[in-house]
Amino acid sequence: MQPASLHRLRVALRVLLAGAMVAIGVAHFVDPAPFEAIVPSFLPAPRALVLISGFFEILGGLGLLIARTRRLASFGLIALYIAVFPANLNMAIHQIQIGAAPLPPAFLWGRLPFQLLFIAWAYWVGRPDSASASPAPAPTDR
pLDDT band of 132, cuts 50, 70, 90:
very low
Distances in Å between the alpha carbon of 30 and those of 25, 98, 137? 9, 15, 50
Domain ranges of the chain: 3-128
Assign 140 a pLDDT band (cuts: 50, 70, 90).
low
pLDDT value at residue 3? 84
pLDDT band at 136 (very low <50, low <70, confident <90, very high): very low
> Which helix (H) or strand (E) segment is 110 a member of?
helix 105-110
pLDDT in tens, 26-53: 999 999 999 999 999 999 999 999 999 9
**Alpha-carbon span 66 to 69, nearest angstrom:** 6
Helices (H) then strands (E): counts for the chain: 8, 0
| Predicted structure pTM score | 0.85
Q: Is the pLDDT of residue 7 over 60?
A: yes
Q: State the average pLDDT over residues 100-123.
A: 94
Q: Using H for helix, E for strand and C for coil, what is the string for 35-96?
A: HHHCCCCCCCCHHHHHHHHHHHHHHHHHHHCCCCCHHHHHHHHHHHHHHCHHHHHHHHHCCC
Helices 46-64 & 3-30 angle (0-180, nearest 10):
150
